[in-house]
Amino acid sequence: MADETPDKKSSKKVAKKEPKRSVKKAAKAAAKKATKKTAAKASAKTAAKKEPTAKESAKKSAAPKAASKKAPAKKAGPAAPPVVRASARYVRVAPRKARLIADQVRGLHIEKARALLQFSPRGAASDIQKLIDSAAANAENNHDLIADEMRVATITVDEGPTLRRFRPRAMGRATPINKRTSHIAVALTPVED
């Protein structure tokens, strides 16, 4: 038994010494790998910087070829009818009230729209009538179209900024008055025969 105990101690000592050596060796090996990785990364970065320039030059030379290929592919279909636009911004009428008139005029022939607006009792009708007349003048002067042969393709009324005012009331109070504005846009197209 006495022989067994020294062997155990010696085996323990040997076992203790081996891990220390292996740890040192592993640390040295890890340091060598890290230096190799950093060197490899640096060379990869320089190689990556060089490659995009070659790719970019290939793309630049290929871009005119691709554009020339796409140009003949366009089909000569029927031309879209011209759209004549006019807009009035910051019109001092509430959008909700102007939309009531715009909904009546949308899609009508220009002569019918003018007749409807001329005899409408609503205040927004005069602003929309001026706008339609302006769009008709744009059609004649800018697009060489006949103004009386147009129809209201689209008309939109969007909300503009609100002017905030206050009205004094009883017992020292004040109530807000919102003076709303509108942005009105009209698009006319020729009537299809």
Tell me the per-residue pLDDT of 84-115, one tens digit each, with 9 for 90 and over.
Answer: 999 999 999 999 999 999 999 999 999 999 99
Per-residue pLDDT tens for 127-160? Answer: 999 999 999 999 999 999 999 999 999 999 999 9
- The CATH code of the domain at 84-190 is 3.90.470.10
For residue 16 the two structure tokens come to 């203790």
Task: Show the CA angle centred on residue 181, arms to residues 175 and 184, nearest 5°.
Answer: 160
Nearest to 148, CA basis, from 112, 186, 110: 110
pLDDT at residue 120, rounded to an integer: 96
Residue 183 · residue 89 · CB < 8 Å: yes
Give the pLDDT band (50/70/90) at residue 125. Answer: very high
Q: What is the largest CA-CA distance in the chain?
A: 127
